[in-house]
Amino acid sequence: MSFTIAIDGPAASGKGTISRALAAHFRFAHLDTGLLYRAVGARLLEGEEPIAAARALQAGGLESDALRLPAVAEAASKVAAIPEVRAALVDFQRAFARRAGGAVLDGRDIGTVICPEAEAKLFVTASPEIRAERRFAELQAKGVETDLAAVLADVRARDERDMGRADAPLRAAEDAVEIDTTALSIEAAVARAVAAVEQRG
Ligand code: C5P
């Protein structure tokens, strides 16, 4: 049996936290697809050609802390606009989605492009200001020096690039359940997500 939960949304909307909680709740495997684009973005910063880097990407080593840095996120959203980079990453994501025992994938185009047949789809949003505050707190906790205004500018720039690109832009699938986490606690957001998935199951 395979059951796929597709979760999309902008940066720091809470989709990562919700995805991990859903994977734990249903005992499904979880793939944060942003890490694939971050890994390619990191290669770009090292001077590699991004299409070749995407084609050569290995799933191992995706959990490096360095992939979480703002400069890597910025590079990730640039390489993510290159159709050949996206095409090189499709098979890995679809194979992951079909694994036995169920899978949660989170990203920008999971419900629309990667897994349009997913059994459950969520679109997680929050205001840019609250997303910037969350990302700022995360970066501070990791000891990364930055300021709130810079993080908000990054969030807005990444939103624009992710929603404005021609290939697989960030948008909700028609059959996605929307969860706005702006005024929700993590527990409340997770409870809504679990309920939405159970309704589809
Ligand atoms: O989710 P995360 O912030 O780690 O993603 C980094 C960047 O990778 C995003 O800004 C987006 O441009 C890109 N991405 C994408 N499609 C996905 C996941 C991430 O284009 N499925």
In order along its 201 residues, the chain shows pLDDT tens digits of 789 999 999 999 999 999 999 999 999 999 999 999 999 999 999 999 999 999 999 877 787 888 988 899 999 999 999 999 999 999 999 999 999 899 999 999 999 999 999 999 999 999 999 999 999 999 999 898 999 999 999 999 999 999 999 999 999 999 999 999 999 999 999 999 999 999 987
Q: Which helix (H) or strand (E) holds 124?
A: strand 120-125
Assess whether the C-beta atom of 77 lies below 6 angstroms from ligand 1: yes
pLDDT, position 47: 97
Tokens 């290995």 correspond to 58
pLDDT, position 131: 97
Q: Which residues are registered as beta bridge partners of 31?
A: 105
- What atom of ligand 1 comes closest to residue 161's alpha carbon? 12
Taking the centre of ligand 1 as the mean of its atom positions, its distance from the CA of residue 145, in whole angstroms, is 22
- Contact, 11 vs 73, CB < 8 A? yes
pLDDT, position 64: 86
How large is the greatest C-alpha to C-alpha distance in the chain, in angstroms? 47
ipTM above 0.85 for this complex: yes
- Contact, 155 vs 128, CB < 8 A? yes
Assess whether the C-beta atom of 73 lies below 6 angstroms from ligand 1: yes
Assess whether the C-beta atom of 11 lies below 6 angstroms from ligand 1: yes
Q: Which of 20, 36, 37, 63 to mutate to test the pocket of ligand 1 (most atoms within 8 A of CB)?
A: 37
pLDDT, position 60: 79
pLDDT, position 59: 78
54 burial type by CB count under 10 A (0-12 exposed, 13-18 middle, 19+ buried) = buried
pLDDT, position 200: 84
Q: What angle do CA 72, 78, 84 make, to 5 degrees?
A: 115
The three-state secondary structure class of 8 is: strand
Binding-site residues from annotation for ATP: 9-17
Distances (CA, A) of 160 to 80, 116, 172: 13, 23, 15
- Tell me the C-alpha distance between 162 and 119, whole Å: 24
Q: Give nearest CA residue, ligand 1 atom 10.
A: 77
pLDDT, position 108: 97
The three-state secondary structure class of 69 is: coil
pLDDT, position 109: 98
pLDDT, position 130: 98
Taking the centre of ligand 1 as the mean of its atom positions, its distance from the CA of residue 35, in whole angstroms, is 8
